[in-house]
Structure 1
Amino acid sequence: MYLIFLRTGFLKSYKKIFSFFLLSLIAGFLWWTLLLFNTFPKKVYFNSSTQISGIVGIVVPTGGKNRIEKGVDLLSKGYGDKLLISGVFMSSEIVEKFSLEKEKNELFKCCVFFDQKSKNTLENAQEVDKWLNENKDIKSIILVTSYYHLPRSIMIFEKKITSDVKIYPVTAIQNNNFRNQFIFHLKLIISEYFKVLYTIVFLR
């Protein structure tokens, strides 16, 4: 059996398969970076000029820098009517953080909801679906998360949310410091790329 792997023909075929696989990964990664830094910012992101009608829910999956702050800021500026913060966290710590700001403190009393069960993006989407079924007046959601996490989040949310809602993605941080944190962001982008591939193949 071992001798089969030493045959020239098999080795050539193996090299071709490996080369094709490697080139496909590289091409896919180039597509991924184009999607992150060109297509999404220009064509998909929610911005201040986006017109949304009806009741709007803001959804924040925790786990990244400035996500909660961005969600609360959008709510306080009137871009949404209700805010759901979804993930593993201490709700009391979040409430305490914004308690010194009177306007935002009042919003937490009426309009902010917490899901503290979700441990990953799939569970976030499932809990958001439950929340939407309990708040059927919501017709659109603004999804707030990190730039690298947005495409996969949308894939999962669109698959798992059963309510007829429109999803408007917005990045938690508008201007990331890529120059001074290049390696950090590169690791995030590569890691998320393989998560996207996994999601494409296995999400049902």
Structure 2
Amino acid sequence: MFRRIFAFLLLGWVLGFAWFALFLPQPAGPVRTDAAVVLTGGKGRIERGIEALDRGWTDQLLVSGVGDQVTQAELAEQHAIPQRLLSCCITLGYDAVDTRSNAAEAAAWVHEHDFRSIRLITSDWHMRRARFDIDQVLDSEVETLTDAVSTEPTMFMLFLEYHKFIARNVVQWLGL
């Protein structure tokens, strides 16, 4: 009986990992949202947020998880952000240090500005956990569009992220 249970759990884990690794979230198209939230930490994320602003897919952008020492001018220079966007439309969030605090920072910003829809921008391999965390703290009336930045993650990166995703779901399910 123990072997059957173990085999069933192992099969579930293998199939879950295959789904997680083979069907990564994709970039969103030109869908309009009130605001966009970029979670820092990966290549192409900030650029995707700037693209969403520049193309008129969104009006405001929060860059969550910016290092304490980073200024708007440094960010603009590093990512070639036009001054017209920097002065009107971009907020730097300095409070987040991980995905859960990114979600909390984003939810506070969304609530403060009374946005009804957001574009969540992060790496494809990170999107499922980021979406899970943001769904836990955002008002249910706020619509979230996932806009994944395509990457080429290593198998090890996917393995770690899959287990973080499982752990977050278990922690939520247990109410911890």
TM range, normalised to the smaller chain?
0.7 to 0.9
1:122 pairs with 2:100 = yes
Aligned equivalent of 2:117: 140
In the TM superposition, 1:41-80 aligns within 5 A as 41=26, 45-48=27-30, 50=31, 52=32, 56-80=34-58
Give the counterpart letter for 2:158 in structure 1.
I
In the TM superposition, 1:156-175 aligns within 5 A as 156-162=133-139, 164-173=141-150
In the TM superposition, 1:1-204 aligns within 5 A as 14-36=2-24, 40-41=25-26, 45-48=27-30, 50=31, 52=32, 56-89=34-67, 90-92=69-71, 93-98=74-79, 104-136=82-114, 138-162=115-139, 164-173=141-150, 176=151, 178=152, 185-203=154-172, 204=175
Distance of 2:11 and 2:51 partners within structure 1: 43
Distance of 2:77 and 2:108 partners within structure 1: 26
Kindly report the root-mean-square deviation, in angstroms, between the aligned alpha carbons of the 2 structures.
Answer: 2.1
Q: 1:16 to 1:163 in 2, by over 3 A?
A: closer
Aligned length: 170
Distance of 1:32 and 1:56 partners within structure 2: 29
Gaps of 5+ in 2: none
Percent of residue pairs bearing the same amino acid type: 31
More helix by share: 1
Larger radius of gyration: 1
Q: Deviations over 1:113-160 (max 9, x none)?
A: 011110111101111111012101x22101110001111111111111
